[in-house]
């Protein structure tokens, strides 16, 4: 059923050089072209043509240029930028020396959101935390979080601390994606049932474009806490290699004497990963199970109907 | 999700059954940018045992490794944006290389600095590179400036050029957006000033190189002439008592320029009317008319070589020459004793005033004497402890200043002033010793050999820079190279014939190329980078503009002296 609503936006905003381009590149496995390492601010909104959770389009926008030209342009284009925004992700550089200015720009964005898209979800990322000494990170983040919560009233914002050099970036975006899925608890319940039925050790549900983990069910306690991000990085790398050959990644089976893992397309916007520790179960059996489950989950998505299901095409 | 902080921070959880370490293999690492290749890690495969959980590498390390692999696929290799910064990757001592069979070993040669030179070696290399032929002109420079002024000027110029050199070394660290690890100073100039910066730095670099090569030609003709004369006189047992005023003792010092000067000629002119052999010799072996041309046959073929790496093996000759000069000067000073009188403003018959207005001639010479700015970054790159760079640079500069002061002061002070005037000190102080003097003969031979080996290297550098930038190819064809070499050699020959004053050549070319690399570029780039970061304050601006004005004044005033 075609979606007659306009494309919804995910707005990734922040001061220039706060790390948005790197973030987008890492999460969406885009190449950073060399010329985007510009020294000046973005004049136009950068549209990324990645479909994200179905019908969401990611827009990048530099906030807070140094001159009045940027300010004027921002105010005149405001309605255009903030219309149809589903999600606002605002990136703060923890090393920034102009806290007042940062907060000022953040507040102007919030005003625009209030006017144009008051239902949008707001997430604040305090980025580049690796540059802060380890023992001070919690403290600094708590301070910032309080300030941001206070400034955002009456809107509500969720804050995360991130750095591209540890797992916090992945976790933050996973949490964001998790909150954007309307029927996620139901999904998790069904995923758990599915896992128990097929006797899998672990079943993961990934978002298709970014391989962020939406949901995860484990029968046994897994040892490696970094495994989600690692799997995502491995597959994103593999996707990059495939794209060089103009091929697209579809599915993967990894097997040895200890386990068998299957990664496959699931619904129109998700991938599933099934880990079986009983190697005696033939692959064909698991693949059939996955195929049958697919039909069920797709029905689950459609059952939620045309009203604001983000997983709809 | 589980608490990450419970992760062990150690990268390698040691296991009991390591294989006997066979020792590090001979892995060569390209030292140009080690950072972009870290960490070295091959995942261990579970070939060995099935059920025990042999933890080879901690999860944290494995995750970081995968992250870095992934990020490296997202950008071009030259883009520094997604290269792991130092505080994120473990220290080099904690990095292991894994073989697929599971054993792990540390690399012995993997040190944090890009190089393995200790501070001592780095300091020595800087000292060695900076001490050049301008050492021969320092006594003359002191004479031109006056003794006290000369000493003060040497120390002040040393400090000033040291500060500018410090600015050069720090210039790359102000550029945060691009990877500058392989950059030399002309690249920094190009970054700030575009292609104007590139071409102007090329031009000034060429000025210094060609100036040096002309000086070398003049000196080589000089030394070759004196050597030939010594050998001829030695063979034919001629006592060389020319009509030049000199001291009459076992350590003769001569005053060659007085022959054409206004000094009354008291000694008798000896005619060798009947000695046609000597006349022939003097006709065919003349310092400014014939010897420069003989050198062409010797050196022009050497210039045409594609790669002069053979000549760089003779680098040690430079150090030996300097050390020998120090010994020579000390010996002569001991023999001649000190002759110093302090007259502050008025020149006397034998002495020069302490303060003279020709001191800019000394600053011009010193600009070239303290010049190392176009290659200091490369020299310091190989320092093992990079944080000591500034300290080592300062120590090297101090040693160079001391060397110059030592030689300059000793030669000046020991110049026998009662019979001769201090004004006689030549632009090449070896000229003040007659060609029959054995010690200076040895010095000339050393220097002659050393210059003959450095000359092709200088020619190679100039050729690479000019032809490389103009034609894109370092060796376009033998004709291009030959024409270029003829031009350089021609310039050298012309100067040797008509203007063999190395002090003059050094001060003009020194002030010209020093203007760009020592005074203007470092200060201007610092001002611009501060301005970009909004950290520019009035004192800093004024101070650095003052340095630029000093550089300009230095050059302009050379033409009025």
pTM of the model: 0.54
Task: State the Cα–Cα distance between residues B372 and B464, nearest whole angstrom.
Answer: 18
Give the confidence band of B251 by pLDDT, cuts at 50, 70, 90: confident
Kindly state the DSSP code that residue B83 receives in the 8-state scheme: S
Domain shared by B206 and B347, yes or no:
yes
> Is B462 among the domain residues?
yes
**Which residues pair with residue A9 across a beta bridge?**
A57, A85
Assigned domain for B485 exists: yes
Query: What tokens does B9 get?
Result: 């921070």
Domains of chain A with CATH codes: 6-179 (3.40.50.300), 184-301 (3.30.450.190)
Is the pLDDT at B27 greater than 50? The verdict is no
Chain A residues with CB-CB distance to B50 below 8 A: 257-258
Q: Are B258 and B425 in contact (CB under 8 A)?
A: no
Rounded Cα distance, B227 and B285, in Å: 11
Assess whether B97 and B130 both reside in one domain. no
Q: Are residues B238 and B346 in the same domain?
A: yes
Shared domain check, B293 and B240: yes
In tens, the pLDDT along A160-173 reads: 999 988 889 999 99
Please say whether the beta carbons of A121 and A157 come within 8 A. no
Q: How confident is the model at residue A250 (pLDDT cuts 50, 70, 90)?
A: confident
* Same-domain pairing of B107 and B178: no
User: Which residue intervals of B304-388 are DSSP H helices?
Assistant: 316-336, 359-369, 376-381
Min Cα separation B78/chain A (Å): 9
Q: How far apart are CA B502 and CA B220, in angstroms?
A: 11
Point out which residues pair with A57 in neighbouring strands. A9, A51
| Residue found by looking up tokens 């000025």 in the block | B207
In a domain, B71, yes or no: yes
What are the structure tokens assigned to A42, written together? 């973005």
Q: Which two tokens stand for residue B440?
A: 């200076």
Which parts of A83-226 fold into alpha helices (H)? 99-116, 137-152, 168-180, 184-198
Where a domain ends, among B111, B129, B149?
B111
**CATH code (residue B440):** 1.20.1740.10
| Per-residue pLDDT, A73 | 59
B493 contacts B177 by C-beta, under 8 angstroms: no
Q: Give the HSE-up count for residue A130: Cα atoms under 13 Å, Cβ half-sphere.
A: 14
Chain A positions in Cβ-Cβ contact with residue B4 (cut-off 8 Å):
166-167, 225
Q: Identify residues of B whose CB sits under 8 angstroms from chain A CBs.
A: 1-2, 4, 7, 46, 50, 53, 59-60, 62-64, 66-67, 69-71, 73-76, 78-79, 81-82, 84-85, 87-88, 177-178
Task: Specify whether B61 is located in the same domain as B168.
Answer: no
Please count the other Cβ atoms lying within 10 Å of the Cβ belonging to residue A248: 8
Contact predicate B63/A229, CB 8 Å:
yes
Enter the tokens of residue A94: 């923890």
Contacts of B114 (CB under 8 A, 6+ apart): B31, B32, B34, B181, B381, B382, B386
CA distances, B59 to each of A39, A140, B307 (Å): 37, 27, 50
Q: Of B93, B111, B129, which residue sits at a domain end?
A: B111
Question: Are residue B520 and residue B536 in the same domain, yes or no?
Answer: yes
Q: Which long-range contacts (CB under 8 A, 24 or more apart) does B82-88 make?
A: B82/A22, B82/A25, B82/A26, B82/A32, B82/A164, B83/B35, B83/B36, B83/B179, B84/A165, B84/B35, B84/B38, B85/A130, B85/A165, B86/B35, B87/A130, B87/A131, B88/A130, B88/A165, B88/B64
* B47 inside domain: no
Does residue A157 register a pLDDT over 70? Answer: yes
Residues B443 and B548 in one domain: yes
CB contact under 8 A, A130 and B70: no
Residues B221 and B72 in one domain: no
Closest-CA residue of A relative to B3 is: A225
Same domain, B191 and B89: no
Segment B238-261 shows an average pLDDT of 65
With respect to residue B15, please indicate whether it lies within any of the assigned structural domains: no
B305-359 tens-digit pLDDT: 777 677 777 777 888 888 999 999 999 888 888 888 777 777 777 777 788 888 8
* pLDDT average, residue stretch B155-166: 93
Decide: helix, strand or coil at residue A123. Answer: strand
Query: A273: which strand partners?
Result: A204, A263
Interface of A with B (CB under 8 A): 22, 25-26, 29-32, 34, 37, 39, 130-131, 164-167, 171, 223-227, 229-230, 233-234, 236-237, 240-241, 256-258
Asked if residue A190 lies in contact with residue A296, where contact means CB atoms within 8 angstroms, the answer is yes
Burial of B434 (0-12, 13-18, 19+ CB in 10 A): buried
Nearest Cα to B212, choosing from B429, B417, B560, B502?
B502
pLDDT band at A302 (very low <50, low <70, confident <90, very high): low
Structural domain that includes position B444: 119-245+278-560
| Banded pLDDT at B161 (limits 50, 70, 90) | very high
State the DSSP string of A251-276.
Answer: -EEEE-SS-EEEEEE-STTEEEEEEE
User: In chain B, which residue's Cα lies nearest the Cα of A169?
Assistant: B67
Instruction: State how far the Cα of B502 lies from the Cα of B507, in Å rounded to an integer.
Output: 8
- Residue B26 confidence (pLDDT) above 90: no
Residue B262 belongs to a domain: no
Query: How many domains, in total, are found in chain B?
Result: 2
**Mean pLDDT score of chain A, rounded to an integer?**
79
Q: Are residues B106 and B127 in the same domain?
A: no
Strand pairing class (A260-265; A252-255): antiparallel
Which of A35, A137, A168, A230 to substitute to test the interface with B, most B CBs within 10 Å? A230
In a domain, B46, yes or no: no
> Pick from B111, B129, B157: which residue ends a domain?
B111
Q: CA–CA separation, B242 vs A216, rounded Å?
A: 102
**CA contacts within 13 A on the Cβ side of A77:** 13
* Distance, CA of B238 to CA of A246 (rounded, Å): 89
Give the pair of three-digit tokens for residue A50: 């990645």
Dihedral, B350, B356, B360, B361 alpha carbons, nearest 10:
-10
What CA–CA distance (Å, rounded) separates B209 from B217?
12
Diameter of chain A by CA atoms?
Answer: 68
Four-point Cα dihedral B456, B459, B460, B466, nearest 10: -170
Mean pLDDT of B471-484: 81
Pick from A33-37, A284-288, B308-312 the range whose average pLDDT is largest. A284-288
pLDDT band at A4 (very low <50, low <70, confident <90, very high): very low
CA B178 from centroid of its chain's CA atoms: 28
Residue B282 placed within a domain = yes
Confidence of residue A31 (pLDDT cuts 50, 70, 90): low
pLDDT at A184 over 90: no
Answer yes or no: do A165 and B7 touch at CB < 8 A: no
Measure A168 CA to nearest chain B CA, in Å.
Answer: 10
CA distance B490 to B472: 25
* Same domain, yes or no: B125 and B101: no
Strands of the A8-15 sheet, one edge to the other: A46-52, A56-63, A8-15, A85-93, A121-127, A157-161
Asked, as a colleague might, if the bond just before A243 is cis with ω within 30 of 0, I would say: no
**Residues A166, A172: Cα–Cα separation, whole Å:** 11
Mean of all residue pLDDT scores within chain B:
77
What is the end-to-end Cα distance of chain B in Å, rounded? 79
């Amino acid at each position: 059923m075609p979606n007659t609503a306009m494309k919804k936006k995910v707005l990734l905003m922040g001061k220039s050089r706060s790390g948005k381009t790197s973030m987008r590149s890492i999460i969406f496995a885009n190449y950073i072209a060399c010329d985007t390492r510009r020294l000046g601010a973005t004049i136009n909104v950068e549209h990324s043509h990645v479909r994200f959770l179905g019908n969401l389009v990611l827009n990048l926008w530099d906030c807070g240029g140094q001159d009045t030209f940027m300010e004027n342009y921002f105010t005149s284009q405001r309605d255009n930028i903030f219309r149809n925004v589903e999600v606002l992700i605002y990136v703060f550089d923890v090393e920034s020396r102009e806290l007042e200015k940062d907060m000022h720009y953040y507040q102007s964005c919030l005003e625009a959101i209030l006017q144009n898209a008051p239902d949008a979800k707001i997430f604040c990322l305090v980025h580049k935390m690796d540059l802060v000494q380890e023992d001070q990170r919690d403290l600094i983040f708590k301070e910032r979080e309080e300030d941001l919560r206070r400034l955002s009233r009456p809107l509500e914002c969720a804050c995360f601390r991130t750095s591209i050099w540890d797992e916090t970036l992945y976790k933050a975006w996973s949490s964001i994606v998790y909150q954007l899925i309307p029927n996620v608890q139901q999904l998790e319940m069904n995923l758990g049932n599915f896992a128990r039925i097929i006797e899998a050790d672990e079943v993961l549900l990934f978002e298709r474009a970014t391989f962020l983990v939406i949901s995860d069910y484990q029968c046994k306690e897994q040892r490696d806490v970094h495994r989600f991000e690692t799997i995502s990085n491995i597959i994103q790398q593999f996707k990059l290699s495939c794209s060089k050959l103009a091929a697209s990644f579809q599915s993967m089976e990894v097997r040895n004497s200890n386990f068998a893992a299957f990664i496959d397309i699931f619904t129109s916007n998700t991938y599933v990963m099934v880990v079986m520790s009983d190697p005696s179960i033939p692959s064909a059996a698991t693949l059939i199970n996955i195929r049958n489950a697919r039909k069920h989950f797709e029905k689950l998505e459609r059952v939620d109907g045309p009203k604001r299901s983000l997983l709809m095409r | 999700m589980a608490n990450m902080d419970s992760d062990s921070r150690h990268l390698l959880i040691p296991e009991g059954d390591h294989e006997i370490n066979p020792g590090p293999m001979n892995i060569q690492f390209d030292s140009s940018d080690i950072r972009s290749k870290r960490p070295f890690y091959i995942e261990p495969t579970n070939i060995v045992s099935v059920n025990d959980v042999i933890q080879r590498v901690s999860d944290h390390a494995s995750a970081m490794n995968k992250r870095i692999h992934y990020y490296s696929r997202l950008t071009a290799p030259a883009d520094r944006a997604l290269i792991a910064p130092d505080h994120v990757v473990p220290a080099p001592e904690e990095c292991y290389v894994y073989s697929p069979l599971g054993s792990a070993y540390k690399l012995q040669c993997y040190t944090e600095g890009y190089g393995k030179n200790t501070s001592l070696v780095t300091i020595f290399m800087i000292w060695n590179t900076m001490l050049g032929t301008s050492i021969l002109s320092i006594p003359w420079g002191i004479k031109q400036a006056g003794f006290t002024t000369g000493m003060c000027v040497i120390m002040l110029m040393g400090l000033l050029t040291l500060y500018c050199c410090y600015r050069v070394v720090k210039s790359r660290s102000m550029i945060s957006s691009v990877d500058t690890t392989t950059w030399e100073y002309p690249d920094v100039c190009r970054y700030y000033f575009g292609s104007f910066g590139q071409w102007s730095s090329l031009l000034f670099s060429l000025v210094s190189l060609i100036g040096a090569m002309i000086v070398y030609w003049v000196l080589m003709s000089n030394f070759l002439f004196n050597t030939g004369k010594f050998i001829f006189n030695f063979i034919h047992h001629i006592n060389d008592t020319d009509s030049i005023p000199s001291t009459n003792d076992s350590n003769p010092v001569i005053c060659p320029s007085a022959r054409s000067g206004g000094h009354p000629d008291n000694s008798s002119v000896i005619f060798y009317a009947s000695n046609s052999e000597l006349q022939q010799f003097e006709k065919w072996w003349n310092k400014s008319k014939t010897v420069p041309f003989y050198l062409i046959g010797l050196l022009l073929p050497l210039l045409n070589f594609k790669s002069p790496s053979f000549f760089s093996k003779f680098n040690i000759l430079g150090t030996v020459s300097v050390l020998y000069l120090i010994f020579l000067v000390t010996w002569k000073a001991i023999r001649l004793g000190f002759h110093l009188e302090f007259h502050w403003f008025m020149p006397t018959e034998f002495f020069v005033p302490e303060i003279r207005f020709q001191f800019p001639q000394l600053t011009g010479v010193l600009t070239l004497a303290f010049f190392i700015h176009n290659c200091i970054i490369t020299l310091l790159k190989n320092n093992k402890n990079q944080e000591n760079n500034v300290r080592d640079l300062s120590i090297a500069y101090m040693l160079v200043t001391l060397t110059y002061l030592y030689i300059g002061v000793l030669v000046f002070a020991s110049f026998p002033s009662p019979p001769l005037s201090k004004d006689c000190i030549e632009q090449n102080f070896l000229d003040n010793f007659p060609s029959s003097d054995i010690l200076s003969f040895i010095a000339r031979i050393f220097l002659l050999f050393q210059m003959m080996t450095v000359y092709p290297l200088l020619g190679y550098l100039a050729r690479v820079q000019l032809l490389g930038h103009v034609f894109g190819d370092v060796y376009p064809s033998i004709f291009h190279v030959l024409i270029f070499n003829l031009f350089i050699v021609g310039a050298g020959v012309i100067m040797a014939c008509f203007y063999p004053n190395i002090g003059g050549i050094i001060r003009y070319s020194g002030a010209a190329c020093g203007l760009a690399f020592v005074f203007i570029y470092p200060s201007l780039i610092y001002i611009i980078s501060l301005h970009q970061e909004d950290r520019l304050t009035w004192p800093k601006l004024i101070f650095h503009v003052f340095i630029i004005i000093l550089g300009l004044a230095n050059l302009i005033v050379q033409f009025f002296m």
